[in-house]
Amino acid sequence: MDDTPEHGELPPSLKFLKWLVIVLMLTMIGGVIAIVGLLVTRMPDGRAVVLPETLTLPEGVRAEAVTVGRDFLLVVTGDGRVLVYGRDGTFRQEIALTE
Task: Kindly state the percentage of the chain with pLDDT values over 70.
Answer: 87
Residue 21 has pLDDT above 90, yes or no: yes
Q: How far apart are CA 83 and CA 90, in angstroms?
A: 11
71 close to 88: Cβ distance less than 8 angstroms: no
Q: Say how far residue 45 (Cα) sits from the centre of its chain.
A: 15
Sign of the CA dihedral running 81, 82, 87, 92: negative
Model confidence pLDDT, tens digit, residues 44-88: 666 667 778 888 888 888 989 988 888 899 999 988 899 999 988
- Is-above-0.85 flag for pTM? no
At 18, is the secondary structure helix, strand, or coil? helix
